[in-house]
Amino acid sequence: MNMTAQQIRQAFLDFFASKGHTIVPSAPIVVKNDPTLMFTNAGMNQFKDVFLGEAAAKAPRVADTQRCLRVSGKHNDLEEVGVDTYHHTMFEMLGNWSFGDYFKKEAIDWSWELLTSVYGLEKDRLYVTYFEGDEKEGLAKDQEAYDFWKQYVAEDHILPGNKKDNFWEMGETGPCGPCSEIHFDGRTDEERAKVSGAELVNNDDPNVIEIWNNVFMQFNRLKDSSLHPLPARHVDTGMGFERLVRVLQGKTSNYDTDVFMPLIEFISDKSGKTYYPEALPPGEGLGGADWNEAVAMRVMADHIRAISFAIADGQLPSNNKAGYVIRRILRRAVRYSYQYLGFKEPFLNQLVPLLAEQFKGVFDELYSQKDFVQKVVLEEEFAFLRTLESGLRRFNTYFDISNEQGIVTHIDEDISEHVKIKRENIESRRNGIVSGNFAFELSDTFGFPLDLTELIAREKGWTVDAEGFHKALELQKSRSRAATAIDTGDWILLKEDDTVTFTGYDETETVAHIIKYRKVKAKGKEQFQLVLDKTPFYAESGGQVGDTGDLIFPDGEIVKTTDTKKENGLIVHFTDELPESLDDALTAYVDPERRFNINNNHSATHLLHAAMKQVLGSHVNQKGSLVNADYLRFDFSHFSKVTEEELAQIEIIVNQKIRENIFLKEERDVPYQQALDSGVTALFGEKYGDFVRVITFDDSFSKELCGGTHVKATGQIGYFKIISESAVAAGVRRIEAITGAGVEKYINEQSQLVHQLKELLKNPKDIAKSIETLLEENNRLKKEIEKAVNEKASGLKTELAQKAESVNGINFIAQKVALPNAEAIKTLAYHLKDVVNDLFLVLVADIDGKPNITVMVAENLVKERGLNAGNIVRELAKEVQGGGGGQPFFATAGGKDVSGLDRVLEKARGFLS
């Protein structure tokens, strides 16, 4: 049977639909509102709150294909990618779930049925594993799983696995349980006859690989690491789509399938290099050049997928956090293609349209934004190629040992450490070794990976201290780990009732109880997190900041809420202290003025978005938003600067809508599809539930899916003013604006300023005109002064030239001059040099109470008589308590004591002998 990748994906979904599963869409690859995770790294992520018991499942059986990224944190496969043939950065994870419904039996039955009957895989090539138990944890072997497998699989194909491979945990704490993997042996029959596949399972053999993992969640792990049975047991499975396709299409590499081949062929074509899938690493094969090229092609074909989907889901490359991870992946692809495929100009971006086409109908997010994504990738490539080149220049100065002083690497707060490193650097450069610290600097600042550094070093006959590099890298890692370490305690449950109601759309004050709390330690600071059964506090999301306010207790105790955040669907209140009366009813009281201003800014953001679509066009899409009490920030896709006229036009529309005092239409629990059909603006990269909230200001103007808080009617916003427009990234612009009281303050400041100006200018009729006149007059005066000074200097030139004394073949002039600035004195000195041969000139001046010394020595005297203006001026400056320097033929100095100027002139004569 020869199925295409599309058919294989569809067959999976159809199979589980036929077993009563609801097929759901993939969540975005970029995770929002989860402090523990940047990117989706498994199909189960979007169901985390269900497993934690913090939300109800939408259906008891669910299946999907989830786009995943494993490039950071606990799952980081980046270094394997391209080097091996079955780990990707971005991959699709096919999954089926049971939420408290079926368990081990059905999960095992169905995975076997799908693989062998539907897909027709050869049974003898399949190996399965089960959890062998763990004495320390007090866990018995997973006999159930073993017995279910035994119905289908020969005993020598059922293998025990230890805690590392066969016990899955969501994190340090939380749901966990035994798992059972399915592996496929794709070797030739000869190889299989020689060595049994059973010996190669979980042994890094590229042809005996894991394709599917079935997790049976039945425990909850607490902070003290004890395990407790879960009330409801779940199934969570994940199958690597690209690995499945490879196995079904009879290939020995994921890249040889129709998932990757179109990309590889395009790269091979454009680089003019052949792709050799079987190429071996240097040492194992011949030379290794083919190997490097093959790895580079795989890296490009793989990385463009991760980059494109991250950008499409709203994560732009940047200098921190998730954005930096994406930037690093992109740079990894660029330097591979630069180094091994000869792409010195941006190329990676050309793969975007190809990829978008390929995922049409699967993940449409990419297709609908392909121009934008391509543009972002292109700009990043440009920037990085420039960085690469400056890195190469930097490297060349390093090789140049005559320039030892110039190299200062790895600036550190600790000065002694810094000096030590500098010394090591100089030492190792003398020995033809690139120091670990310099290699690290190249990697950290210029994105040079170690192997690139080694390659360049080798070309110059140098070696690289790889050990030192890894040390420096480790040091940086442990520093950033220490900076971000958060110690989170277990939740302490106060009330069983675990449902949380948000009341903040309707009120800012609610009587409530604490359901649970915990202690959190971050950066040495202790904080508490409280969950209430009801709360008016809005938790930070959708760009709107979290509410602050008070928790007021019957006995008068007031505990301040400093922030409110979402975690897995919970609304978490941050406080600096723990309330004394934990069990009492309390009044949760949101700071009303702050919330009022936030509402203004949020509603204004919607009006702005709608006005922009009118003025700039429908391609304008939200790419980021911040709404707080002071202002609003709105990032959007648009390819050119927004002109003054356009900005004015946008402001006019928004303010008009404010004055129309449009009433808010708020619809909660609208079925998602119905909302889309009614023409709402939905955002890319946002995960919407089955029921959504629609915020409308005038049906024909602004209609958005939004969970934020808003004004009751637009008139409340008062006034809207854009205060800046700028670029954030390629194809992304940013507008910042203020509303209501913020504008009032802004306008008051502006008119205050105008008032001050008027007073300074003695109340002219036309301020602009009178400033213009002032500037013109100022310019004219400046020119006149310049002219006068020049005239004076050339008058002095003749006078001074006549005063030259001839001593030992030197024409010596030492004079005090009355010129208003150092520039004029310098001009005079150069003029004199032109008319007096063998000149040794010392001019001193009192410039506004400060001494000035200028020394000029004819070039022939510098050489023949060893006179050096720089040294001379330094010596002379001592007389005025000052210092200076310059070149051997011209130098200047300043100081504190003008009374010493006469002594300077006397001393100058001393240099003649």
Query: Which residues are at the interface with ligand ATP (CB under 6 A)?
Result: 70, 77, 87-88, 91, 93, 210-213, 238-240, 242-243
Question: Is 602 labeled as ligand-binding?
Answer: yes
Report the nearest approach of ligand ATP to the CB of residue 313 (Å): 18
Q: How many CB atoms lie within 10 A of CB 412?
A: 14
Report the nearest approach of ligand ATP to the CB of residue 96 (Å): 12
What length does the chain have? 913
Report the nearest approach of ligand ATP to the CB of residue 240 (Å): 2
Write the CA distances from 414 to 421, 441, 474, 578, integer angstroms: 11, 17, 17, 38
d(CA 650, CA 141): 67
Report the nearest approach of ligand ATP to the CB of residue 41 (Å): 8
Report the nearest approach of ligand ATP to the CB of residue 76 (Å): 9
DSSP track, 776-819: HHHHHHHHHHHHHHHHHHHHHHHHHHHT-EEETTEEEEEEE---
Report the nearest approach of ligand ATP to the CB of residue 237 (Å): 8
Nearest to 310 by CA among 336, 296, 330, 295: 330
DSSP track, 643-662: PHHHHHHHHHHHHHHHHTTP
Q: Which is nearer to ligand ATP, 213 or 315 (CB)?
A: 213
Q: Which is nearer to ligand ATP, 221 or 573 (CB)?
A: 221
d(CA 2, CA 633): 52
Q: Which is nearer to ligand ATP, 63 or 857 (CB)?
A: 63
Both tokens of 44, joined, read: 């189960």
Q: What residue is closest to ligand ATP based on CB?
A: 240
| C-alpha distance across the termini of the chain, in Å | 103
- Bridge partners (DSSP) listed for residue 812: 805, 840
| 469 within 8 A of 450, measured Cβ to Cβ | yes
Residue 214 belongs to what H/E stretch? strand 208-221
Report the nearest approach of ligand ATP to the CB of residue 28 (Å): 18
Q: Which is nearer to ligand ATP, 210 or 293 (CB)?
A: 210
Report the nearest approach of ligand ATP to the CB of residue 254 (Å): 7
| Residue 887, SS3 per DSSP | coil
DSSP track, 35-79: TT-SB--SGGGGGHHHHTTSS--SSSEEEEEEEEE-EETTEE-GG
Both tokens of 674, joined, read: 């119905």
d(CA 650, CA 652): 5
Both tokens of 450, joined, read: 């170690």
Q: Which is nearer to ligand ATP, 84 or 563 (CB)?
A: 84
- What is the DSSP pairing of strand 570-575 with strand 525-532? antiparallel
Q: Which is nearer to ligand ATP, 173 or 202 (CB)?
A: 202
- What is the DSSP pairing of strand 839-847 with strand 810-816? parallel
d(CA 229, CA 426): 61
Report the nearest approach of ligand ATP to the CB of residue 202 (Å): 7
Q: Which is nearer to ligand ATP, 88 or 734 (CB)?
A: 88
Q: Which is nearer to ligand ATP, 206 or 885 (CB)?
A: 206
d(CA 398, CA 392): 10
Ranges of H-type helices in 695-802: 740-760, 767-802
d(CA 407, CA 773): 52
Both tokens of 264, joined, read: 């590889």
CA angle at residue 110 from 107 to 111, to 5 degrees?
80
Q: Which is nearer to ligand ATP, 164 or 194 (CB)?
A: 164
Q: Which is nearer to ligand ATP, 245 or 439 (CB)?
A: 245
Question: Is 606 labeled as ligand-binding?
Answer: yes
d(CA 747, CA 723): 11
Q: Which is nearer to ligand ATP, 32 or 183 (CB)?
A: 183
Question: Is 619 labeled as ligand-binding?
Answer: no
Report the nearest approach of ligand ATP to the CB of residue 77 (Å): 4
Burial of 580 (0-12, 13-18, 19+ CB in 10 A): exposed
Report the nearest approach of ligand ATP to the CB of residue 320 (Å): 24
Residues forming the annotated binding site for Zn(2+)? Answer: 602, 606, 706, 710
